[in-house]
Amino acid sequence: MGRKQNYRKHKTLIRIINIILINGLFWWVSAIFDESARKDDEVFRLAVADLNLNNEILETEKITISVEFVDGNNPFQAVQEGRMILPRV
């Protein structure tokens, strides 16, 4: 065998190894995302099952929304997260 034939075989072997490694990497990354999706799906199903078992939570829970308009001409009026705003008298 000549040097050129050895070089070609070596180059072909390196290409095959690179293809195998790249395919393995893609499989590994997709396996991570598949496992994460399975865990998310399981958590969602458990949460829905828990709510179905405890229907009282859905019936007794009261959700309220309040909207407060801020006067743009009053620099001292501020709305802060987590602070209760008392109604004006």
pLDDT in tens, 21-53: 777 766 666 666 667 777 777 877 777 777 666
Residue 89 lies in a domain: no
Domain count, the chain: 1
Residue 8 lies in a domain: yes
Residue 88 lies in a domain: no
Residue 43 lies in a domain: yes
Instruction: Round to whole Å and give the CA distance between 19 and 49.
Output: 45
User: For position 14, what pLDDT does the model report?
Assistant: 80
Residues of the domain holding 54: 3-60
Instruction: Round to whole Å and give the CA distance between 11 and 20.
Output: 14
Residue 66 lies in a domain: no
Residue 84 lies in a domain: no
pLDDT-based confidence at 68, cuts 50/70/90? low
User: For position 50, what pLDDT does the model report?
Assistant: 74
Percent of the chain with pLDDT over 70: 38
Residue 41 lies in a domain: yes
| Dihedral sign computed on CA atoms, order 24, 28, 33, 39 | positive
Instruction: Round to whole Å and give the CA distance between 25 and 29.
Output: 6
Residue 39 lies in a domain: yes
pTM as predicted: 0.29
Instruction: Round to whole Å and give the CA distance between 3 and 11.
Output: 12
